[in-house]
Chain A
Amino acid sequence: MVHPTESDTIPTHPIQPAPRLSMRTRSAIWVWSFLAIPVLFYCVIRFYPTFNAFWLSLTDWDLMSDAEFIGFENYRRMFADPGFWQTFRNTFAYLIYGTPISLLIAFVVAYYLDRVRFAHNFLRALYFMPYITTAAAMAWVWRWFYQPPPTGLINSALGELGFGQIEFLGSTTNALPAIMVTAIWAGLGFQIIIFMAGLRAIPDTYYEAARIDGLGEWTILRKITLPLLKPTTVFLVVFISIAFLRIFDQVYNMTTNDPGGPLGSTKPLVLMIYQTAFSSYDMGYAAAQTVVLFTILLVVSLLQLWILRDRA
């Protein structure tokens, strides 16, 4: 988009007294005076700290003493730390498994819920409920579900039915999927609503035309519904990915005794940043981790927008 230059737009009215501002300039001033507050807010509260974090990541600031420039020492330390690489892998495990599973379940539920007339609103509310519930409260409920017997609901039920016990949060292999399930469940409500809105936005006439032409349901889904749902899908993929890359509440609340454990098997980057910053007060190192997270978020988001871009 090319902005018209000032000289193009100023109407040359010979009768009007000269120095008056043009309509366009005046409206621009209005717009900017209203925008000034949020812009200022964003600069001070968002952008300044973001850029400051880049600087901090090159220092050894520990809150107490003055920050000293140490070059890329924090990054060197981070890349040499096996704990960092484990949280890196964990974060991507949440992302790579969590996003498609969430998307698939949300779509399937939305697709069928859209056709259900009986108790439609009630069902929709039921699906939405977890989304509006506090993540910490939900995490604690799930934490208790997952406990070994005699407290854990799931294991007690398995025991009653004569099955063996499953270690959920106490196992290095099962803990991450167990936590991911709750995160998927918690986000589902929102995604279903967005998908349903997307489905409703597709004009009925396309479906009618397709049915008159004798297309089957599967073909309609593939040729009409999914392509027309693409903007919704792109939005959700980006939205869900960012949510999984930033996962924290569930993990932290479900593993408070051994945060991100056992043996670091569930620890995501954000939890590592939190611990480095607010438990070890190693702000410089935490800033370096934040810069890495920032970069990942940026790359993943751009990549997705590029892959799912509209080729038309």
Chain B
Amino acid sequence: MQKRILMAGISAAACITAATSASAVEIEYWQYIYDTRVEAMDQLIENFEEANPDITVEQVTFPYADYQTRIVAANMARKGPDVMQLFYGWADKFIEGNLIQPLPEDTFPAAQIEEEFFPIVSAMQRDGEYYGLPTAVRSLALFWNKDLFEEAGIDGPPETLDELVEYGKKLAVKNDAGNFETVGLTLDMAGQDHQWWREVLVRQMGGVPYNDDYSQVTYDDDAAGAEALEFYTNLQTEHGIGAAGFMDEGQAAFRAGRAAMTIDGTFRLGSFNSIEDFEWGVAELPANEEGVQSNYASYFANAIGSSAEGEELEASIKFLEYISSDEAMQIWLEVVGELPARREAAMTDANMNDPIYGPFLAALPYAHTTLFVDEAAQRQTAIDMANRVFLQDQAPADSVAEAAEQEQAIIDDARD
């Protein structure tokens, strides 16, 4: 009996060794479903497999709404991905939940990362260790409808906040009943406006939205937060440039040619590229009177799952190295339209002079990356903050104070 078990054991062991030596290492890469992203990744995988014939990469995708839950559930079942894409804002949760592991220092030295990438990658760093690297980054810009500008007799996009207001007033068109036909600028806190308010307007009014590690809300420490909110809500209440909720979403209004300007991110390029009815352009976000500029940049980073070990870990490191390379970034830019995360790949003359990518890229050196603990909940505090002014006539200063209190509670709750 014992002999038979021994024999079975030996033959099984022989089979396993034979199998591993004969077949390639297979690793899984996870990201959410977005046509161009999946397509770009397919291309990258093809290139990578060609260069590394002993490694197979399987791409697994999920709808965005399910994505985080799937990763967490898979990790609990010890079936997590080897390499995965995650929003930089999820980093704290993923590190705390032991979903991802730090990148090995020998392949990805911190000093080199900091030298070669845009400073915003620091959002993936904890205690000197990097937990992920982006292929591409996103920033905000002002999209402007060239046809509407021409009709209104305005030469180019506004460069300052004062010009933004001045042009906006000229561009907004109301019908006899007093309803907007066209808005000068879209007001959509649920879109990208909350980022514009947080990282751009607050700073331009002389404030700082958070402390250095984003553990303390500071936009209500001085008058800057309230001034920024007042500037924002005045666009609707004082200047009649736009109305929150016009055409449901800011991007929908712009697409339909009913908004002269909208603030949105690189990720919107894919959708706006199919606009045929009018010409549109991209400009850097307006500066304030003193010329202070700011922007909000964000990214999805690629990280190595905590379950990867042995030769799968080796393969994952190689794969991560490739998808963070200049070559991968150029492919990503061409297919997805997102900006390269490495300075060298991004700041080429061709890219900088590109009328579309140029303004987005120009913003990267001075952009900020908010370290959200719960982006949806923190966005909600900004939406409510504006709504209290619009719908309940609350004073901007009071509304900002209330928002700060709510947001601080969310941050404290997540960090304890």
Contact = CB atoms under 8 A, between A and B. Distances in A.
A159 B179 contact: yes
B307 interface: no
A147 B97 CA distance: 42
B374 A280 contact: yes
A261 B383 contact: yes
Interface string A136-180: 000000011001111100000001000001000111100000000
Contact of A263 (B96, B98, B387): B387
A257 interface: yes
B384 interface: yes
B245 A148 contact: yes
Interface in B343-387: 374, 376-377, 380, 383-384, 387
B247 A280 contact: no
Contact of A262 (B97, B179, B376, B387): B387
Contact of B72 (A144, A165, A170, A281): A281
Nearest to B176: A159
A150 B140 CA distance: 27
B376 A172 contact: no
A262 B389 CA distance: 12
A149 B258 CA distance: 12
B249 A257 contact: yes
Interface string A243-258: 0000000000000011
B99 A64 contact: yes
Nearest to B253: A151
Contacts of A171: 391
Interface in A266-305: 275, 278-281
A64 B383 CA distance: 28
A171 B387 CA distance: 10
A63 interface: yes
B384 A263 contact: yes
Given A159-B179, A165-B179, A172-B391, A151 B99 contact: no
B58 interface: no
Contact of B181 (A150, A172, A278, A279): A150
Contact of A172 (B180, B189, B244, B392): B392
Nearest to B375: A279
A64 B73 CA distance: 9
A274 to B, nearest CB: 11
A64 B392 contact: no
B68 interface: yes
B93 A281 contact: yes
A168 to B, nearest CB: 10
B388 interface: yes
Contacts of B93: 62, 64, 281
A65 interface: yes
A149 B179 contact: yes
Contact of A64 (B72, B177, B391): B72
| Contact residues on A (Cβ < 8 Å of other chain), bracket | 20 to 34
B387 A261 contact: yes
A148 B243 contact: yes
B219 interface: no
Interface string B318-342: 0000000000000000000000000
A72 B409 CA distance: 19
A75 to B, nearest CB: 16
A170 B245 contact: yes
Contact of A159 (B99, B177, B190, B247): B177
A207 B244 CA distance: 58
Given A258-B383, A280-B377, A281-B72, A148 B246 contact: yes
B391 A279 contact: no
Contacts of A149: 175, 177, 179-180
A279 B245 contact: no
B248 A257 contact: yes
Contacts of A63: 69, 72-73, 76, 97
A258 B68 CA distance: 21
Contacts of B76: 63
Nearest to A257: B190
Interface in B251-296: 258
Interface string B169-202: 0000001010111000000111100000000000
A151 B248 CA distance: 9
Interface in B60-88: 68-69, 72-73, 76
Given A65-B96, A148-B179, A172-B392, A279 B376 contact: yes
Contacts of B387: 258, 261-263
A159 to B, nearest CB: 5
B277 to A, nearest CB: 15
A37 B376 CA distance: 41
Contacts of B374: 279-280
A218 B65 CA distance: 54
A279 B374 CA distance: 8
Nearest to B245: A170
Interface in B84-130: 93-94, 96-99
A278 to B, nearest CB: 6
A2 to B, nearest CB: 48
A296 B243 CA distance: 39
Interface string B205-244: 0000000000000000000000000000000000000011
Among the interface residues A143, A264, A279, which one has the most CB atoms of the partner chain B within 10 A? Answer: A279
B379 to A, nearest CB: 9
29 contacts: A63-B69, A63-B76, A63-B97, A64-B72, A64-B93, A64-B97, A64-B98, A144-B248, A147-B245, A147-B248, A148-B245, A149-B177, A150-B179, A150-B180, A150-B181, A150-B258, A151-B248, A159-B179, A165-B179, A170-B391, A171-B391, A257-B190, A257-B191, A257-B249, A261-B387, A279-B376, A280-B376, A280-B377, A281-B72
Q: Give the top 3 A-B pairs by smallest Cβ distance, nearest first.
A: A64-B97, A257-B190, A149-B179
Given A159-B179, A259-B380, 16 more contacts: A63-B73, A63-B97, A64-B97, A64-B98, A149-B177, A149-B180, A150-B258, A165-B177, A172-B391, A172-B392, A257-B249, A261-B383, A262-B391, A263-B387, A263-B392, A280-B376
